[in-house]
Structure 1
Amino acid sequence: MTEKEKLIEMIKNNETIKRYQAIEKVLNTNKDLNSKINKLKTIQKQLINAKEINKQESIKHFDALYNELLAEIEGYPLMSDYLALQGDINELIQHITQIIEDGVNKELNSK
């Protein structure tokens, strides 16, 4: 088994990742939640556009809508676990990336 295959297998078998995927499946089947997430994305785009053209009233309006909808989304059962696990996985990925970069740099510097 190559190092790449070992790494892939380790990631697949990681309990945090398995839990994250299980929660993601449950959340993805919630039509109301998915609708709110899509609406949040739309509001986020409108907020960015308002900031780009410096429309202060629009910025306040879309910011308030965004925060209100985000709070609703975060209030869904399992969502806090999902977001916490997402943070843990991001840290794991950063750690793995750093190990790979260090290994590559060590190999390059030893030649």
Structure 2
Amino acid sequence: MILVTTEGISGKDLEMLGMVKGSTIQTVNAFRDIGAGLKTLVGGELKNYNEMMNNARALATKRMVEEADAMGADAVVCVRYASASIMQSAAEVMAYGTAVKFR
């Protein structure tokens, strides 16, 4: 499956199939959250949260690709990511785009 952020794919004539999306809500465990809270006192990178968000993006992308596959798509164009805080230390990540088939 080809994933691009552009509206088209160079050299390809595209048939639009429709919007596809994938999402997940992720959180870190309570002990890691406490450690991250303490880290805010001294500053620095919150590696557990980076890992959580990377995993969430990967899962959301996988679910978007599965939805595109089910539609018979060859690619997804205009891929975008959005995130939102659901509650303290929990975030939703959504991947979305337009499923297309090559003509």
As a proportion of its length, which structure holds more strand?
2
